[in-house]
Structures are given as structure tokens and as C-alpha cells.
Amino acid sequence: MWLMQDLLRKEWGFKGVAVSDHGAINELIKHGVAKDSREAAKLAIKAGIDMSMNDKAYGEELPGLLKSGEVPQSDLDNAVREVLGAKYDMGLFADPYLRIGKAEDDPADVKADSRLHRAEAREVARKSLVLLKNQNETLPLKKQTRIALVGPLAKAPIDIMGSWAAAGQPAQSVTVFDGMRNA
């Protein structure tokens, strides 16, 4: 609750929709944070997750949690307000079909390999890197340093992109092995 409610919304002033990662609410069970889907949904809505991404926890559990009083109506109202506000801001109340089209017409897919997008992605990556502690001045690595690079993703150009690569192509990715070798 502290991270989503106190820090994100109150201290940083975030206004918008907080969406769980794909299936993340039910992952709370697998990680031992919640004993079942009901508890996972309760923890997530109380923490400030407005929208559940592709799991059934909210749809199946929130009605019972509301009825029992374990989750107040105000928690659900806050989540719904954020989601509907985002839809309104995107113009979906005026035209609910505004953003529907063929997948190949999606600029994210069509222009996935454009130089402009790649330059923007590199700039975002550069700005997002954070070195928390460079103990013993390990970085930058010296050319003569030997490193054991092991594991199934070391030379896996498709897998390294992850499951959400959209129209990403293996030729667009740099494996960890190649990146380390060419650095």
C-alpha cells in the first residue's frame, strides 16, 4: 500500500490508472503473499491497482469482497474513476471504436523497426539506467576482464525480447553474449 498509495499517488502526485502486469494479481499466491485469489484481489485493490491485466481475480472476487465489507465501495469507486477517466481522456466515450483497426495498421507494429523509434528507444534506455553502487569500481569492465556468461538467454535473440515484443524481429535484438563481446 505504501508504494502505490502513499509514494506514487500522494507524494509524487501521480494521476492516472495503475494496471497490474499480466496475471500479476494471482502471482501474489505463487509468491506466498496471498493464500488465495480472494486475498490477492483484496490486497491488490487496497494497494491501489485500478485495473487487473488478464487474470480473473477482480471479476470473480471483488463482488464478494464488497458484499462482505472487506473492501469498501470507495476503493472500487476510486479504481473505476481512474479507468473511466482514462477512457474519457482517450475519446472513447465520444467514439468507442476510435482505436480499433487491423493489427497491421497499428503504428507500433508497422514502424517497429524505424530509425526514429530505435533512436528514441535507445535514448529512453540510456536515461533509465541507474547504477546503485559501483563497489570496488567494477564498472566499466576492463577489456582484459573475463566473465562467465551462462544460461539459456545468453545467445537467444528471440527469447531476449520477451513475450511482448510485438513485431520485434530477432535481427533487431542484441543478445547478452553479443553485447558483452562487442562492448
For the segment 32-57, what is each residue's pLDDT rounded down to a tens digit?
999 999 999 999 999 999 999 888 89
The greatest distance separating any two alpha carbons of the chain, rounded to the nearest whole angstrom, comes to 65
pLDDT exceeds cutoff 60 at 108: no
21 given a catalytic annotation:
yes
User: What does the pLDDT read at residue 169?
Assistant: 76
| Alpha-carbon distances, residue 127 vs 122, 123, 131, 133 (angstroms) | 9, 6, 11, 17
User: What does the pLDDT read at residue 132?
Assistant: 81
Cell of 33: 503473499
pLDDT exceeds cutoff 70 at 173: yes
Q: Choosing from 21, 95, 109, 113, which is the catalytic residue?
A: 21
For the segment 120-154, what is each residue's pLDDT rounded down to a tens digit?
888 998 899 887 888 888 888 888 888 889 888 89
CA 26 remoteness from chain centre: 15
pTM: 0.62
Question: Which of 125, 124, 109 has the alpha carbon at shortest distance from 166?
Answer: 109
